[in-house]
Amino acid sequence: TQLLEQSPQFLSIQEGENLTVYCNSSSVFSSLQWYRQEPGEGPVLLVTVVTGGEVKKLKRLTFQFGDARKDSSLHITAAQPGDTGLYLCAGNTGNQFYFGTGTSLTVIP
Amino acid sequence: EAGVAQSPRYKIIEKRQSVAFWCNPISGHATLYWYQQILGQGPKLLIQFQNNGVVDDSQLPKDRFSAERLKGVDSTLKIQPAKLEDSAVYLCASSLAASGGVLGTQYFGPGTRLLVL
């Protein structure tokens, strides 16, 4: 059973396009994180969101935590080939920590 | 600052054999995690240590997997005996302890890629 479902699972877009990745759950999370993982490497943290409704921006990336703290989204503006990778949401509920199912993004030059 | 170290990077074994992975976390990080990641999927937490105590091992297949963190620093993860479905990347991560329910940053090692034939 996957507590954090991501959509879409795969995404292939042209350089310069915008995209949004979703992370959904029926559970409430104390905080939620987004990671990016490149082939052959471990995930690297992009952002942590804590407050329901919170929006954080990191250059061309915009992260939002849902008001009820059950979902989150990642929006990338003007995607670049360097954005290619596996995007993972992750969160803790109670004492347990979960990663999402993952979204594999390919940006074609 | 040195990152999380893992060894070996690759391992190929036959089913029913044993295998062990080693992890050295970032100095001063009290929390250590072991994950199993199937290709293209999100990592699945196997076990979480706080110093040398187990915080969560609810998803560890205890009939074949074991892990220890002696002296609260290095950790080893063992599989005995291995099955075909254990083929995956095993990731180790470490972090400072979470505060007030807010997740700390986990720093990941490069992982050990296991192939069971």
Instruction: Compare all CA atoms of chain B with the CA of A51 and give the residue at the minimum distance.
Output: B102
- Residue A8 predicted with pLDDT over 90: yes
Residue in the block written with tokens 């699972």: A9
Please tell me the predicted confidence (pLDDT) of residue B66: 97
- pLDDT single digits (tens) B23-32: 999 999 999 9
CB contact under 8 A, A42 and B56: no
- pLDDT single digits (tens) A12-53: 999 999 999 999 999 999 889 999 999 889 999 999 998 999
CA–chain centroid gap for B8, Å, is: 12
Q: Is the peptide bond before A43 cis (omega within 30 degrees of 0)?
A: no
Distance from CA of A70 to the nearest CA of B (A): 15
Token pair belonging to B14:
């036959």
Eight-class DSSP state of B73 = S
CB contact under 8 A, A42 and B44: no
Distance from CA of B14 to the nearest CA of A (A): 23
Please tell me the predicted confidence (pLDDT) of residue B100: 58
- CB-nearest to B103 from A40, A42, A48 is A48
**Chains A, B: CB pairs < 8 Å:** 67
Distance from CA of B57 to the nearest CA of A (A): 10
CB contact under 8 A, A97 and B42: no
- Residue A1 predicted with pLDDT over 60: no
